[in-house]
Amino acid sequence: MEAKKQNIRHLNLDEIKVFLKANEVQAFRGKQIYEWLWKKSARSFEEMSNLSKDLRQLLSDNFTLNAVTIHSSQTSSDRTIKFAFKLFDGNIIEGVLIPTETRMTACVSSQVGCSLSCKFCATGSLGFTRNLFYDEIYDQVAIIGQQAIEKYQIPLTNIVFMGMGEPLLNYDNLLQSIEIITNPEGLGMSPRRITVSTVGLAKFIKRLGDDDLKFNLALSLHAANDIKRQSIIPVSEHNSLKTLIDALKYYHAKTQNRITIEYLLIKGFNDTLNDAKELAVFCRNFPVKVNLIEYNSVEKTGYLKSMKETTTAFAEYLESKNMVVNIRYSRGKDIDAACGQLANKIKNK
């Protein structure tokens, strides 16, 4: 029975050098291989053109790359592109390229499906299959970055972990992927250009503070009232607003990072002036900016987006309290690529 090949991207540079030494290959080749894997985003050993044919064959005989591939894609009328990515085990995840006049943003997934079952989110209806490995997260960024240049001639400027899954439930792979993405020997992106969005898991938010990480943290709040929040985000039964406030205060004290509050405006549910007042009280506890997000329709939820005048009044109330507020209008709605809509319903176009 043939031995199962190891994923070479799960080895560090020293481990690659140990393998090369055992096979009487010069150590400097290790650095070349490592550069192909993480700086040049090689999809196969055959691409490693400065290695001999024999060395490429040696790598192929002993290792896999398990590279993520584009299964299919759709382009929206607003130029947003949604990708279905195929993983080595046949699972499908989704990622999105969001182009604007000033930014080229990759929205990436951290899990296959999601276990949190948030009532407003299509991904939550899929259930949870598995966590992504750090190289699978990296591949999404690398591929979307290549597509940004190919399609729009503009390099990637930002990364948001707002795709499928709860990033903090895949903590180690999340951090390892960001380390490679930001490392000069990897993609070399600034951590300040990366935002990790969480539904609000207090113990992991505190852990982020202890680890003193430099990327941006966004909290998907959607209601500053425990009863309302628990009705749409089941996990918040164990992460009350008080618990979240304590965790976010701890995180801010450790990192001095301003926190982004994401707030979906749902018609008749969380969009009244009283809801705005509750949100303003919640946000007094630490420096924040608030993104008010247009709700995107998801089948079988029964939820609708707020009226434009309601959204404006909500924003104006927060601004009257000297809060930084942005209204985020949806991108890619016509291809189910907008916030909360990722559910593997992709079609080839």
Answer yes or no: do 135 and 240 share one domain: yes
331 within a domain of the structure (yes/no): yes
Q: Give the pLDDT band of residue 187 (cuts 50, 70, 90).
A: very high
CATH of the domain at 112: 3.20.20.70
For the stretch 25-36, pLDDT in tens is: 999 999 999 999
Q: What is the mean pLDDT of the chain?
A: 92
For the stretch 30-55, pLDDT in tens is: 999 999 999 999 999 999 999 999 99
127 within a domain of the structure (yes/no): yes
**What is the arrangement of strands in the sheet containing 104-107, beginning at the earlier edge strand?**
69-75, 81-86, 92-99, 104-107, 158-161, 194-198, 216-220, 259-265, 288-294, 324-328
Q: Mean pLDDT throughout 61-69?
A: 97
Q: Tell me, what's the pLDDT at 45?
A: 98
pTM above 0.95, yes or no: no
**Alpha-carbon distances, residue 176 vs 95, 180, 346 (angstroms):** 19, 6, 29
Q: Give the pLDDT band of residue 212 (cuts 50, 70, 90).
A: confident
Answer yes or no: do 18 and 128 share one domain: no
Whether the per-residue pLDDT at 193 is higher than 70: the answer is yes
Q: Tell me, what's the pLDDT at 297?
A: 74
Residues identified as active-site: 94, 339
Q: Tell me, what's the pLDDT at 98?
A: 95
Answer yes or no: do 283 and 173 share one domain: yes
Q: Give the pLDDT band of residue 17 (cuts 50, 70, 90).
A: very high
Q: What residue numbers bound the domain in which 144 lies?
A: 69-335
Q: Tell me, what's the pLDDT at 346?
A: 45
Q: Tell me, what's the pLDDT at 1?
A: 46
Answer yes or no: do 60 and 77 share one domain: no
Q: Tell me, what's the pLDDT at 336?
A: 59
Would you call 233 exposed, middle or buried from its count of C-beta atoms within 10 A (0-12, 13-18, 19+)?
buried
Q: Tell me, what's the pLDDT at 134?
A: 98
349 within a domain of the structure (yes/no): no
Ranges 119-133, 187-201, 282-296: which has the least confidence = 119-133
Q: Tell me, what's the pLDDT at 329?
A: 81
